[in-house]
Amino acid sequence: MDNDLDFRYYDETNDSYGVYGPIKHWCLLGEIVEIIPWIRPMFKVKDNAGEHFLVAFHLDGTRTLPSELAKYAKPGNTMTIMYAEQHYFADGQIGVRLEDVDRVKVESVAYVSDALDHLPSSDVSVQFAYFL
């Protein structure tokens, strides 16, 4: 189910009972392949294995991306999504539904190999997991 928590990655926060937060950090790196014209901002993105998936923004009160994201959100650039979770869309597609733009960065880095070169070198553990 979409709303089920995977307790390998989430636990209750110290602040309040019943509120869960991530206990491990992860991000999804993908190359923007296509901008999908729709009511909401949507993109076809490719992961390191070459698998394509949908990234759809569901933003409250606006149907446009903030200018700092929109500036770089074009094919060939890298999208980084913190704490990305797989979502099953009503039309049968699988991808990522985003409601929080603060978890997303888009850079003009030429895909994953170059993006990894920009990671801080101190104690960063990089593991590849394929999205689909």
Burial 44-78 (b: 16+ CB within 10 A, else e): bbbbbeeebbbbbbeeeeeeebeeebeebbeeebb
Q: What pLDDT sits at residue 81?
A: 92
What CATH architecture does domain 25-117 belong to? Beta Barrel (2.40)
For residue 130, the model assigns a pLDDT of 45
Question: Which of helix, strand or coil describes residue 89?
Answer: coil
Say what the pLDDT of residue 78 is. 92
Q: What is the dihedral of CA 62, 131, 4, 15, to 10 degrees?
A: -70
Q: Where are the domains of the chain?
A: 25-117
Would you give per-residue pLDDT tens digits along the chain (132 residues)? 455 656 666 666 666 666 666 666 778 889 999 999 888 899 999 988 889 999 999 988 777 888 889 999 999 999 999 888 888 999 999 999 998 888 899 988 665 555 555 555 544 555 544 443
What the block records as the tokens of 83 is 């704490």
